[in-house]
Chain A
Amino acid sequence: MIYEQATIIVPSAFATALRNLSQTLGADTAGMFIVGLSPDGTAPATHFVSSGGMPVSFVRAMESPALFNSVAQADYTQIGVADLFSLAQITTTLASCFVSYGTTTAIVNSVSTTVSETPRDFIARMGFKMVVATI
C-alpha cells in the first residue's frame, strides 16, 4: 500500500461515517478520527483529526466528491447498510473538511512562499484546539 503524509480535520457529525469508510480502504485505517478538536479546546469536540501516513486512495477520496461517493457506495454495500450520503451531501460535507499536506503559503519578505507546517500548526491555523482532557 502506498501512503501519503496528511492531516485531515472532519466535522464530528461526519467522523463516524468516515471511520466506517476508511476501514474498507485498508485494515490499517481503522482507528482514525478519534482525536477531538473544538474552537476553544473544551468538550464536546466539534471536529476530529487524523495526522500521519494515510493510504493514497483514502486521501484522494477526501479530495473528490465523485470518487468518495463511489468508494462509499462500495463501502456501504460491503458492510450491508443503506447509503448514508448522497453525492450532494458528500460534496457539501467534504467542503467542510480541511486537509494539509505539511505545507502552507506565507508572506515572507513581501513574497508569497511555501513554508512547512506541522500538524499542530495546521490545527491552530484552522482555528481549532485539541480538546483538553484531565487526568
Chain B
Amino acid sequence: MPVIRSPIRSPIRSAIRSPFAYNYGAGAAAFTPASLYTSGQLGAWYDPSDLTTLFQDSAGTTAVTAVTQPVGKALDKSGRSNHLSQATASARPLLGTTGAKYLTFDGIDDGLSTGALTLGADMDCFIALRRNSTASGVLAFESTAASYFGVVQAAGGAALADGGVGSPTYSVNGTALNGGATGTTRVQLDAAMPIGNWCVVEVKDLNLSVGWASFALGNYPGFALNGDIAGIVLAPAGDATSRQKIRTYLGAKVGLSL
C-alpha cells in the first residue's frame, strides 16, 4: 500500500496547497526581506519570530527559548551585522507571544540599540508595532537621542513626527498619512495607531546619512515606547512593488492581510 499511496498523494497535496501558499506568483519563491540586502545594501532587519536571533544577555551567549524571557541581544538578519543589544538587565524587552512573537517594551526603560553603523540618504523603515497605552513614544532614534523619527503624541506636541531625518512620509497599514511639505504630525501618527491593535508603520524616504551613528528603539528619554514590536525592516528606499512586499510580509507576521 505505501508504494501506491506515495505517488498519488504528492501531486494532490501540491495542487491543493499552491493556491493558498504565501507566494507572489506561480513558481516564485516567497518574499523575505533578505532579498533587499543581497548586494550589500545598507540597513537592518530584525525578526523576533526567529528565536535563533534572540539572546537573553547582551553578549549573545544565552539563547531566548521561551516567552517572557528578556531579550538582551537581537541579531540583524540583513547581513550588515547591525545587531541590537541592551547591557542593562532591567532595561531589556521581553519576548512576548500572543499569536505573533514580538518584543514587548514596558514604556519605562526598556530599549535596544546597535553599535556604530552607516545608513543612507534615502531609506525606508517598516515596523510591525502594537501600542499598549496612550503614552507618548518614539519609534526609532539615534542612541544619543540627537535624531529620531516616529514621535507619537496625542496632544501638545510639536508639529513634526521626526527630527534629523529629512522629510519622510508616513503610512500605516498602507494608508498614507497627511504630510507633504510639513510632515506628518505627532497627533496624526498617534491617531493612526489605535491602542492594542497591530499595525505596520512605514516611514519612507528617510535621510539617515547625517547624525545616525547608531539605531535605537524603545527608551528615548521621556518618550519610552510602551508597546510590542514584531519586526523591523530598514532598507534603502524601494519602489511601490518592493514596499508592498515588505508591508505584506510584516503584516502577515501579526495577522494582517496588507
Contacts and interface: CB of A to CB of B under 8 A. Distances in A.
Contact of B109 (A5, A28, A34): A34
Given A35-B109, A120-B133, A54 B89 contact: yes
B148 A135 contact: yes
B106 A119 contact: yes
A49 to B, nearest CB: 6
A38 to B, nearest CB: 12
A35 B91 CA distance: 11
Interface of A: 1, 3, 5, 7, 26-32, 34-35, 49-55, 118-120, 123, 130-135
Contacts of B221: 133
Interface string B146-186: 00100100000010000100000000000000000000000
B94 to A, nearest CB: 8
A3 B68 CA distance: 12
Contacts of B92: 52-53
B125 to A, nearest CB: 18
Contacts of B57: 28
A5 to B, nearest CB: 8
B109 A3 contact: no
B222 A53 contact: no
Interface in B22-59: 57-58
Contact of B89 (A3, A118, A130, A132): A3
B226 interface: yes
Contacts, number: 87
B231 interface: no
A135 B223 contact: yes
Contacts of A3: 70, 89
Given A32-B90, A51-B90, A52-B108, 16 more contacts: A1-B89, A26-B89, A29-B89, A31-B87, A50-B91, A51-B108, A52-B91, A52-B94, A52-B106, A52-B109, A53-B70, A53-B92, A119-B107, A120-B107, A133-B223, A135-B151
Interface string B194-237: 00000000000000000000000000111110100000000000
Given A35-B108, A130-B222, A135-B163, A54 B133 contact: no
A28 B222 contact: no
B124 interface: no
Contact of A55 (B89, B222, B223): B89
B222 to A, nearest CB: 2
B192 interface: no
A135 B57 CA distance: 31
Contacts of B70: 3, 52-53
B89 A120 contact: no
A53 B108 contact: no
Given A130-B222, A132-B222, A135-B148, A118 B106 contact: yes
The residue in B94, B145, B151, B222 that gathers the most chain A C-beta atoms within 10 A of its C-beta is: B222
Nearest to A27: B87
